[in-house]
A and B are shown apart, each in its own frame.
Chain A
Amino acid sequence: MIFTIARREFQSLFLSPLAWSVLAVIQFILAYLFLTQIETFIAFQSRLAQISHAPGITDIIVAPLFSNAAVILLLVTPLLTMRTLCEERRNKTLTLLLSAPLSTTDIVLGKYLSIIGLLTCIVAMTGLMSLALLFGGELDFGKWFCNLLGLLLLTAAFAALGLYLSSLASHPTIAAIGSFGLLLLLWIIDWKAGLKNQSSDVLEYISMLRHFQNLQSGLLDSQDVLYFVLFCATFLILSIFRLEYERLQK
Chain B
Amino acid sequence: MTALIEAKNLSRFYGRQCAVDDVSFNLNKGEILGFLGKNGAGKTTTMQMLCGCLAPSAGQILINGIDLLDQPKQAKSALGYLPDTPPLYKDLTVHEFLHYCARLHRVPRQRCAKAVHKAEQRCGLESVRHRLINQLSKGFQQRVGIAQSILHEPDVIILDEPTVGLDPIQIQEIRQLIKQLGEEHGIILSTHILSEVQQSCSHVQIIDQGRLILKESIAGLNRLMNTERIKLRTRQPIDIDTIKALDGITAVEVQSPHDYIVHFHAKTAVTDILAACVLENRWGLEAIAPLKKSMEDIFISLTTQTHA
Contacts and interface: CB of A to CB of B under 8 A. Distances in A.
B114 interface: no
A100 B104 contact: yes
A95 B92 CA distance: 17
Given A12-B92, A100-B105, A92 B73 contact: no
Interface residues of A, number: 23
B250 to A, nearest CB: 49
A213 B76 CA distance: 47
Contact of A99 (B79, B90, B103): B79
A48 B73 CA distance: 64
A92 B52 CA distance: 15
Interface residues on B, range: 20 to 34
Contacts of B92: 12, 15
Contacts of A247: 52-55
Interface string B65-99: 00000001110110101010101111110000000
A250 B54 contact: yes
Nearest to B83: A95
24 contacts: A4-B100, A8-B100, A12-B92, A15-B91, A16-B91, A91-B87, A91-B88, A92-B87, A93-B89, A96-B101, A96-B104, A96-B148, A98-B51, A98-B52, A99-B52, A99-B79, A101-B72, A101-B104, A101-B105, A102-B73, A103-B72, A103-B73, A247-B53, A247-B55
A5 B106 CA distance: 12
Contacts of B77: 101
Given A96-B87, A99-B52, A102-B73, A250 B104 contact: no
A94 interface: yes
B87 A93 contact: yes
Interface of B: 14, 48, 51-55, 72-74, 76-77, 79, 81, 83, 85, 87-92, 100-101, 103-106, 148
Interface of A: 1, 4-5, 8, 12, 15-16, 91-103, 247-248, 250
Contacts of B105: 100-101
Given A12-B92, A16-B91, A102 B104 contact: yes
A12 B132 CA distance: 13
Given A100-B76, A101-B73, A101-B74, A95 B87 contact: yes
A4 B102 CA distance: 10
Nearest to A96: B87
A16 B89 CA distance: 12
A98 B91 CA distance: 20
Contact of B53 (A8, A99, A103): A99
B78 to A, nearest CB: 9
A5 B76 CA distance: 17
A15 B91 CA distance: 8
Nearest to A12: B91
Contacts of B100: 4, 8
Contacts of B89: 12, 93
A102 B104 CA distance: 8
A241 to B, nearest CB: 14
Given A12-B91, A100-B76, A101-B77, A95 B104 contact: no
B46 to A, nearest CB: 14
